[in-house]
């Protein structure tokens, strides 16, 4: 399994070094790499972020309010594309502009926002502060958070350190 993941991930990243977003959906901290129709890996460049994110998603998934999770894994430094060494496996849910734009700004949208934040507060006592496009998705008709990362901007030093590695 990990060989397949490493192979897929390297292919996606290597096509365009430095332009991770071109081949892997990527936000500020995570590269999202589908493995098949149902499962993807989420790769992070620091272990702590991966661990915290994984713990929250696993906890919420146990209450049915997050995509399911598989294992965590670390890529060896010598065999790692870019600096995304730390990953975990996630279930893929419906996510993206098509599902999001269909509800954006409607009464349903505000209700979903409230429901998701309440769900997470009840399940894992976590305040979801980054509601919006790309951070929520739908599984069997139920809307849920897909981004369990910390909602914080990196410091300039952290950003510089990261870009120096590219
Ligand atoms: N479980 C999932 N199912 C489907 N798509 C997902 C899932 N998790 C993440 N994605 C996709 O990957 C993108 C990046 O994931 P995520 O939002 O967790 O990363 P991030 O780096 O924390 O993002 P940002 O900081 O920009 O909000 C998401 O915007 C979404 O398009
Ligand atoms: Mg996000």
Query: What confidence tens digit (pLDDT) does each residue in 10-54 have?
Result: 666 554 445 544 345 666 688 888 889 999 999 998 899 999 999
| The pLDDT of residue 140 | 96
| Res. 67: pLDDT tops 50 | yes
From the centroid of its chain, how far is CA 135? 8
93-130: per-residue pLDDT in tens? 999 888 899 899 899 999 999 999 999 999 999 999 99
Cβ(147) – ligand 1 distance below 6 Å: yes
Give the number of the atom of ligand 1 that is nearest the alpha carbon of residue 149: 22
Three-class DSSP labels, the chain: CHHHHHHHHHHHHHCCCCCHHHHCEECCCEEEEECCCCEEEEEECCHHHHHHHHHHHHHHHHCCCCCCEEEEEECCHHHCCCCCCEEEEEECCECCHHHHHCCCCCHHHHHHHHHHHHHHHHHHCCCCCCCCCCCEEEECCEEEECCCCCCCCCCHHHHHHHHHCC
Domain spans, the chain: 2-161
| The pLDDT of residue 18 | 52
The closest ligand to the CA of 137 turns out to be 1
- The percent of residues above 70 in pLDDT, for the chain, comes to 76
The closest ligand to the CA of 38 turns out to be 1
Give the number of the atom of ligand 1 that is nearest the alpha carbon of residue 135: 17
Mean pLDDT of the chain: 84
Cβ(4) – ligand 1 distance below 6 Å: no
Question: From the CA of 54, how far away is ligand 2's center (Å)?
Answer: 14
| Res. 7: pLDDT tops 60 | yes
| The pLDDT of residue 115 | 97
pLDDT band at 139 (very low <50, low <70, confident <90, very high): very high
């Amino acid at each position: 399994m990990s060989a397949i993941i490493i192979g897929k991930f390297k292919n996606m990243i290597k096509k365009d070094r430095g332009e991770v977003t071109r081949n892997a959906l990527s936000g500020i901290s995570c590269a999202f790499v589908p493995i098949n129709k149902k499962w993807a890996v989420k790769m992070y460049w620091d272990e702590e972020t991966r661990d915290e994110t994984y713990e929250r998603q696993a906890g919420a998934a146990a209450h049915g309010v997050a995509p399911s999770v598989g294992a965590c894994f670390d890529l060896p430094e010598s065999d790692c594309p870019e600096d995304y060494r730390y990953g975990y496996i996630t279930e893929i849910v419906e996510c993206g502009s098509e599902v999001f734009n269909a509800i954006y700004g409607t009464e349903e949208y505000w209700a979903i926002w409230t429901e998701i934040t309440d769900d997470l507060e009840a399940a894992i006592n976590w305040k979801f502060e980054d509601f919006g496009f790309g951070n929520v998705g739908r599984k069997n008709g139920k809307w849920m958070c897909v981004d369990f990362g910390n909602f914080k901007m990196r410091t300039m030093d952290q950003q510089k350190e990261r870009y120096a590695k590219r």
